[in-house]
Structure 1
Amino acid sequence: MTIPSGPGDGRLDPGLSALMSERRQLFNLAYRLLGSLADAEDVVQETYARWYALSRQQQEAIESPGAWLTRVAGRICLDLLGSARARREHYVGAWIPEPLPDRTEWSTGRPGGTPVDPADRVTLDESVNMAFLVVLESMTPAQRVAFILHDVFRYSFTEIAEIVGRTPAACRQLASAARRRVHAAQAPAAPAARRVDIVREFKQAWEAQDIDALVGLLDPDATATGDGGGLVRAEIHPIHGAENVARFFVDRPGATLLERTVNGQPGLVVQLDGVTVSVLAFDVTGDRIRHIWAVLNPEKLRPWTAG
């Protein structure tokens, strides 16, 4: 892609390479803030559009283009979070963050297909696992922006204040409140190898229609949440209790289950007749599955079916 240095002059920006190197950082930020690949891509595009709408003199007057881009992207995300909250109030059923398309088989580490852009630009860490992203959904937009920028991306509260439009002290309080939410929702995670074993055992028990084995893998207070977005059949309310969750999956036989990495964690892709119909993310605590998130919304599954 060729981007001109200024409106209509047709010349290449000599700093284009350095400027575009910020793209990954911007996408990482926007995805964590919005939980949507499409929205994150839109934020990145809008951020660069605003940069190139500046005159050459205005661009040269900016001491740190990278910091400028981050501030603009943060403000765009803040605005989108406000409107997204209103949209999601009318969303049919639960809204679950969009899972990152990753064709890696977590059992072997082998790719099951070519990773789909833009997910290959997202740096995987604990701040993109589904449990973390779901907690972020419970925060106010300002809390979410202050927390992610400070705790994940290590921006100072002075810098965050410019984005959020509040004092540094107020931003510190926002991040602190968000941090308390995260800590309250988190339980000690199982070791990585144990998570793999438990999700694999869940897959095998589901394939065998072994309800007792499924119950044994689930926390007594386990929940399963489905996101169909009103486009496909999904349970409007979360399912609670190990036996109820187990029966829900036993009542849906005949699917092909693929071991895939979902937001950096062991997950499952569900296919019917070769078509991906759901992506499952798991929260494993100790030796039990505490939460299952099933994304069925075709729009969110589109990157998983491409290629």
Structure 2
Amino acid sequence: MSTLPPFRLAIPKKGRLYDKCSKVLEGAGLEYRREARLDVAVCKDLPITLVFLPASDISNYVGLGDVDMGITGQDCVAESGVTVEEEMMLGFGKCKLCLQAPVEKGWKGKEDVQGGRICTSFPLLASKFFSDVDASTGSSTLVRYVSGSVEAACGLGLADAVVDLVETGTTMKAAGLEVIAEVMQSEAILISNPNSKHKDIINLIKKRIEGYITATKFMMISYNVSSASLPFCTTITPGKTSPTVTKLSEEGMYAVSALVKRSDASVKMDELMKAGAKDILLFTISNSRM
């Protein structure tokens, strides 16, 4: 990697976070071309080397300083136990790390499993989760690491329960399991190394990603309105900070533009029309800087 740009940004190489991360980087203007079977790519207009790694490894690479910045799940960061700067939550990849047990057991919480056998890809988090009940009873819950197909452990007789991620619950239910306790909630997070020498690039990437995520949550609405209806219409569209109001050449008329939440946009248009606004337009935002 010596001939590549020194700043390194890691994203998951595959799996549930890869596609989302790719869209975020594209929206943030980090253009690159990833050659087949290569886990390294160089950004087109920025001195950044992209490194594609297993999501579970990224926080370790960032924490140890081998990578300056990365995107992974909160669950992976917590399991690694390393120190990183948590730059921002990204709002996707949401799931829960849960204690799951066979439905037929009828168990209601971790107290029912305490002292038994647990299989998981998150041994540190699972052990911490049982530490309080283990301490109160004086016995130990056996936590075993498995790298994949965790949900099969109970059916194969390897475990009494498992600690695994739940996104839709389909895999869990197919294995005859149910959630009996929640260990933690997780989503994708942007992290950086606290000692990185490239704080300027870290801040640039953070601002770009913030701008893109804001753009995915908001739309721009614009309309014309009379002076009589202006005060009420601006209460409908107060904007993220405030609406932009411009006087038109036509006497007593104003043009208004404001950010509205994407989920509320259609309702806002209906409300504005009823309030007397006209020429109501809605625009998609590709990126922003707030």
Query: Which TM-score bucket, shorter chain as reference?
Result: under 0.3
Flag the structure with larger Rg: 2
* Structure holding more strand per residue: 2
Question: Normalising to structure 2: TM-score of the pair?
Answer: 0.25
